[in-house]
Amino acid sequence: MPVALVWFRNDLRLNDNPALRMALEEGYTPLPVYIHAPEEEAGWAPGAASNAWRHRSLQALDVDLRARGSALHLRTGPTAAALQDLLGEADAQAVFWNRKYEPATQPRDAALKKQLREQGLRVESANGGLLFEPWDLATGQGTPYRVFTPFWRAARARWRLPSPWQAPVRLPACDVAAPVTLSSLGLMPKRDWDRGFWDAWRPGEAGAREALEIFIDGALRGYREDRDRPDRVGTSRLSPHLHFGEIAPWRVAAALEQARNAANAAEVEAFLRELGWREFAWHLLHHFPHTADRNLNPRFDGFAWATPGAGTLAAWQRGQTGVPIVDAGLRELWATGYMHNRVRMIVASFLTKHLRLHWLHGARWFWDTLVDADLANNTLGWQWTAGTGADAAPYFRVFNPVTQARRFDPHGEYIARWVPELRGLPAAARFAPWESPALVARLAPGYPATPMVDLAEGREAALAAYRSSGD
């Protein structure tokens, strides 16, 4: 049988893998390949938390391949040279891959496809990560959607899930020299910063399937309400698995549809809508690739962002702001590589509104510390909160972190877990400890007596700056 390279990227699974399926169905012996070339991601090379996850996911993929008689072959970039070397070593006649949609990788992949086809090779790419290609949905005027609701309405009108596909239990062996080892890629943190991550996560395809099953059997019940409660297990926790392609979004959607009944139909629809936001994020990044670094709404290009003072940004990053719900979220992020979505909005609003720091400061920190760091979702989330992007929160929407904490962490349990200095306080005093100075001095002396910025003053300063930016 002729050999085909199957080039893995953020599609680290065997089931529901269109590139692998194409290679097999067209009669090729697949040579699974991963090429590490972070320098080709332009200014958004994967961060430390993503790399730590990727190390374990690649390891899991190789184990799955070896159980089927194959193996994952690792190389380092430049990608074009690595592919040429592998084509020669394996005497391969074809290359298959699943598409990526980042601004840096789309033109690179298009150039590679053209170059390889000119060499007489069979080269095919497929959609391995989205329910809709970013170019599949458009407004009645043929322009990209910039508002989620009509985008989602159009998506639901064209809702067609691909059929699930199970990889064969045996794959034909195809071996070449293996000069690159996983450890040599340098994906692991230089110090043991990530050790707390793996109590909560299981990277790899099996871990993704397990997370989906746990969600359907548990948190799906009450999802609409509980998804906003950081003190509860109310979300799917599928985001890193989806980001690394350890499970296909259509597999997730199909499982939810299969579980749908009269009692949970509204919960299922609410979760599918969240998958829709993921699709919308990639739709936007494809059509507006500059938004990873610049405002979508040019009105804010001259906005008077504050200059970070000495230690201000570091205090926010490490959860030392003196605002308990903000500090809890950022400490959860540092300890687990994850932050609850509701809290992400709160800490982002605090940074961009109360501190009035540019959203890129936050986006870069999330990019380096989140295990589910996804360029499209990260960009959409930060620009939404800052008010500079598509479907954005209006500039006058400033999350009050105390009100948010009282509403979504009503007993202060999330705060107590991640800000242990405040555990000794009564629950009612955990949300705004500066309102109970004597109590804090006695029971929580290690916590800041006041927030790094007065919340009312910070809000008014933000509103004034936004108003002055012009309509």
Catalytically annotated residues: 274, 277, 305, 341, 359, 382
Residue matched to tokens 């009100």 = 403
Do 187 and 54 contact (CB within 8 A), yes or no? Answer: yes
DSSP class of 126:
E
d(CA 64, CA 15): 11
d(CA 233, CA 239): 14
d(CA 64, CA 74): 15
Do 369 and 361 contact (CB within 8 A), yes or no? Answer: no
Alpha helices in 373-412 (DSSP H): 375-386, 401-408
Q: Tell me what percent of the chain is helix, strand and coil, each rounded to the nearest 5.
A: 50, 5, 40
What angle, rounded to 10 degrees, do the helices at 401-408 and 324-336 form?
Answer: 70
> Angle at the Cα of 158 (from 153 to 160), degrees rounded to 5?
130
Buried-exposed string 10-46: b where 16+ CB fall within 10 A, e elsewhere = bbbbbbbbbbbbbbbeeebbbbbbbbbbbebbeebeb
Closest listed residue to residue 319, CA positions, set 230, 405, 419: 419
CA distances to 13, 223, 231, 411 from 428, in Å: 46, 26, 15, 7
Q: Where does 220-355 show beta strands of DSSP type E? A: none
**DSSP secondary structure string for all residues of 27-38:** T-EEEEEEEE-G
| Residue 74 backbone dihedrals phi, psi, to 5 degrees | -100, 140
CA 86 to chain centre: 31
Q: How many CB atoms lie within 10 A of CB 352?
A: 27
Burial of 379 (0-12, 13-18, 19+ CB in 10 A): buried
